[in-house]
Structure 1
Amino acid sequence: MKNSGNETTDRLWGGRFRAEPAPELTAFSRSDERFFRLAPYDLAGSRAHARELERAGILDAGELGQLLAGIDRLEAAVKAGTVKPSARDEDVHTFLERVLTEWLGPVGGKLRAGRSRNDQAANDLKLYLRDKGRAMAGLVLDLQAALVAQAHQHVETLSAGFTHLQPAQPVVFAHHLLAHAQALYRDIDRLRDWDRRTARSPLGAAALAGSAICVHPELSAAELGYDAPCENSIDAVGTRDHVAEFLFVTGMMTVNISRLAEEICVWTSRQFRWVELDDAYATGSSIMPQKKNPDIAELARGKAGRLIGNLTGLLSTLKSLPLAYNRDLAEDKASVIDSLDTLDLVLPAMAGMIRTMRVNVAELRRQAPLGFTLATEVADWLALGGVPFSTAHEITGALVRACEERGIELSEATPELIAAVDERLKPAVLERLTLEAAVAARVGYGGTAPARVKEQIARLEAGLEAQAAWAADYRGPRC
């Protein structure tokens, strides 16, 4: 590559400039080292672009063969680490074109015709996200599998359900675990929905107006696993809402993981004693020998703030950017790479912790009725007998107060005590004041009755199978 002064340059631009870039500009302009990991996706786009150049008559069949062989060789070399970017390579596009031109001579230089770094950059990141999004879904499915496996073991395990972090009503522990699984299930569904909107190829948009050479972008789109080209070439290179949406999905996912992590911290506390973590998934203290800390849960909880920050940062960058491309958009890669790298650590650790934790069934049952969690059973019994619920609520509150004064739980109330509270309370209500009766009564769809929970597990497992099939069924490049 030559500049206007016939001096060798590794840049993809510079013909109209009389001076070399200042060192400060070079240092500031060069891509983050992490961005060079997009090389396999850039090369995949280059394969599709090379075929488009043959269709346009820029390359003949022999030159196309040379380019494709060179791209394959370069991809293997990058993967093996035998070819690496130099300090002079401004970005992944410069790096790969430089090597191809060194290897293939003028044929390598032909590859730039009909495209711009603008559509290349947009395409590289889309391919990367569509590929890594499916890999991330696989890690979420592993965490889901751990939750479902625990749920299978605890369909009959009775525990307290909470609101406001106060004991509220009895549930089976599987039902509580599955609430977390359902949130993660929606996260994968959000990812699938994101992918449907993102499956549009920016190749052929060139700098912004479209290419006068690459006039069949639908063929390149199909080769790379997209559904179609982008509808608008300006939008194709100047918009990153798909990146912001991806960051929302990952941010929401870590928020859901953080809520599970917080409960693990609570459940493993000495005050709760619901769960014991496997030694392999807990840490100790440097000063207190007795400590067993839920560090995985705490670290995962902390990472949620980081991923929320990545979303907020990119949205702030995108605000008020004029169309089409602006260099500000280079910030897109830092956000998503950091989020994906973080989840690559969080998800396997959380899955292992959940899979190996031991649930203290006896302690859960002992605590389940404490705090008058059976009070709603009394109010419901009265309402089913024709007492207006507002009145039933007051009667039940009076019964709770009477039990508190005597230091007993509702299940310990005697026929004489309930009759003294209100004549509408009959001994038959005492039959409802058991944990088994309370959960068995919740037989509506989505309720905590064990039979319903078993059905929920079956439906969830079928849904997870469909999500796993989606994650595996990707027609684009996987790197």
Structure 2
Amino acid sequence: MGRRLIVGTTIDRVDDKSLTENSAAANRTSLWGGRFAGGPSEALARLSVSVQFDWRLAPYDIAGSRAHARVLAGAGLLDPEELGRILAALDDLEAACASGTFRPTVDDEDVHTALERGLLERLGSLGGKLRAGRSRNDQVATDLRLYLRDHARGVAARLVELAEALVEQAGRHVDTAAPGMTHLQHAQPVTFGHWLLAHVQPLLRDLERLRDWDHRTAVSPLGAGALAGSGLPLDPGAVSKELGFRTSFANSMDAVADRDFVAEFLFVTAMIGVHLSRLGEEVVLWTSQEFGWVELDDAFATGSSIMPQKKNADIAELARGKSGRLVGGLVAVLTMLKGLPMTYDRDMQEDKEPAFDAVDTLELLLPALAGMISTMTVRVDRLVAAAPVGFSLATEVADWLVRKGVPFRDAHEITGKLVALCAARDCALDEVSDADLATVSEHLDPSVRDVLSVRSALAARITPGSTGPGPVADQLATAADQLTTWRNWTAESVVPR
């Protein structure tokens, strides 16, 4: 069995101020420089450093190093004793990273440099053998795939929790009438359970996208080297299998140049952001005084520093706001990639921060949204009272006429005239006199009032996927089954030990 490698804050983030000092120049580790007469300028060094954000890749880099060490041993480039020492040192280094006793320094250019320094400190020159047959180019591509595959399941688990909160609320309101809307205008009555489940469907599609993305991303680049593969007798397939990938790269140049998996991940997270934003906007409307359909729990709302009466839907508003940064991350990476020649280019350093930010944003936002939805109180009385407002039963009249044999084009015209009459007289559809009905159309008679109730309108919606209580109950059962399957998928291990 594998294990999840999602790690805590000790190793997830390192800012500039937390980088440890390493004043002894002799201790500086560099993965390049032999052909240079001097070191990089301070300006170049400051621009190049990425360890403050790519340090979170450390456990994945160590997992890749274990697999690479075993492949080197299989190729006869490490003897069994050397392999054992390297694996033990990697275990010790991983534990030190997790505990915080090993940290990157101001002299470490990136996560790979820092970890090689840690290995050299433990093994001396033997630690340098691990660099054979690999490059930072295939290394970072592997690390980032492992990280995103691991954390995508964490994001998916939070999506499941939000969807389950919506399903739970929907289950309480299978037959609660509400005013369905188009153009934010009253259109036809729906059940509030149906409305809530309408927000579950996009989340299920998001989960599908994550799983599809994971399948395409489960390709190991390790062994591609800098761009041309390796002249050493390595086995990329063995590395791929050990690291939980389904296959290894088909072309070494593409392996190090490919960042489709980052852009696609950011598309999925941007799409999630859009869906969360739409849900957030509706909660903002529902909790307004003008609607008054929902009351938020105190634990998931905020107040005003000047107006004591205020209760603000800040979580919903932040869902709207944070969708912008998720979309922005996608645009930034696509723009960065669009003009790059083969193969690796330093521009690709810019792929990580948007990806990390998307993970961080969703892992922060989704639990808050799930809590807000699961604890909100629905004002059933307000919903039921609003359901027939705005002549929302007009379509029932048109359908009634169709059942009597009137062509829908004519039924639509007749119903429109009836609505115009009611609007002029400021009365409801069921308040029109028998004589006035006959005046509007010979096809209208008093029996039309049988369909002029919200209950009858909802009961008539019996086709699959409709808003009637029966179809909504079916949707609930299906969604619950799907979410159980998705929860199992999110618990699967990605990166083996």
Instruction: Normalising by structure 1, report the TM-score.
Output: 0.97
Query: Does 1:125 pair with 2:141?
Result: no
Task: Work out which of the residue numbers 262, 281, 288 in structure 1 matches 2:300.
Answer: 281
Partner of 2:261: 242
Task: Work out which of the residue numbers 442, 466, 469 in structure 2 matches 1:447.
Answer: 466
Instruction: State the 1:412 CA deviation.
Output: 2.8
The code of the aligned residue for 1:116 comes to S
CA contact (8 A) 2:28 2:107 kept: no
- Distance of aligned partners of 1:372 and 1:12 in 2 relative to their CA distance in 1, 3 Å threshold: same
CA distance in 2, matches of 1:32, 1:396: 68
Equivalence map 1:301-340=2 (5 Å): 301-340=320-359
Query: Does 1:187 pair with 2:206?
Result: yes
Q: Deviations over 1:386-430 (max 9, x none)?
A: 111111011001111111122112233333332221110122211
CA contact (8 A) 2:51 2:108 kept: no
CA distance in 1, matches of 2:189, 2:200: 19
Query: Does 1:168 pair with 2:164?
Result: no
The code of the aligned residue for 2:33 comes to G
Instruction: State the 1:230 CA deviation.
Output: 1.3
**Paired positions, count:** 473
Q: Deviations over 1:263-282 (max 9, x none)?
A: 00000000000000001111
Instruction: State the 1:262 CA deviation.
Output: 0.1
CA contact (8 A) 1:131 1:477 kept: no
The code of the aligned residue for 2:258 comes to T
Q: Mean alpha-carbon deviation: is it higher for 163-172 or for 8-17?
A: 8-17
- Distance of aligned partners of 1:246 and 1:138 in 2 relative to their CA distance in 1, 3 Å threshold: same
CA contact (8 A) 1:46 1:111 kept: yes
CA distance in 2, matches of 1:347, 1:32: 28
Equivalence map 1:424-439=2 (5 Å): 424-439=443-458
CA contact (8 A) 1:127 1:477 kept: no
Task: Work out which of the residue numbers 284, 291, 295 in structure 1 matches 2:310.
Answer: 291
- Distance of aligned partners of 1:384 and 1:11 in 2 relative to their CA distance in 1, 3 Å threshold: same
CA distance in 1, matches of 2:304, 2:496: 45
CA distance in 2, matches of 1:422, 1:449: 30
CA distance in 1, matches of 2:306, 2:26: 64
Equivalence map 1:159-238=2 (5 Å): 159-238=178-257
Q: Deviations over 1:330-370 (max 9, x none)?
A: 11101100111111111011000000000000110000000
CA distance in 2, matches of 1:184, 1:412: 42
- Distance of aligned partners of 1:433 and 1:285 in 2 relative to their CA distance in 1, 3 Å threshold: same
CA distance in 2, matches of 1:426, 1:109: 92
CA distance in 2, matches of 1:163, 1:475: 43
The code of the aligned residue for 2:74 comes to R
Q: Mean alpha-carbon deviation: is it higher for 262-271 or for 427-436?
A: 427-436
The code of the aligned residue for 2:81 comes to G
Q: Describe the SS at the equivalent of 1:162.
A: strand
Structure 1 unmatched ranges of 5 or more: 1-5
CA distance in 2, matches of 1:411, 1:292: 38
Equivalence map 1:95-134=2 (5 Å): 95-134=114-153
RMSD, matched Cα: 1.2
Q: Describe the SS at the equivalent of 1:301.
A: helix
Instruction: Normalising by structure 2, report the TM-score.
Output: 0.94
The code of the aligned residue for 1:237 comes to V
CA distance in 1, matches of 2:85, 2:28: 23
Percent sequence identity over aligned pairs: 56
Partner of 1:27: 46
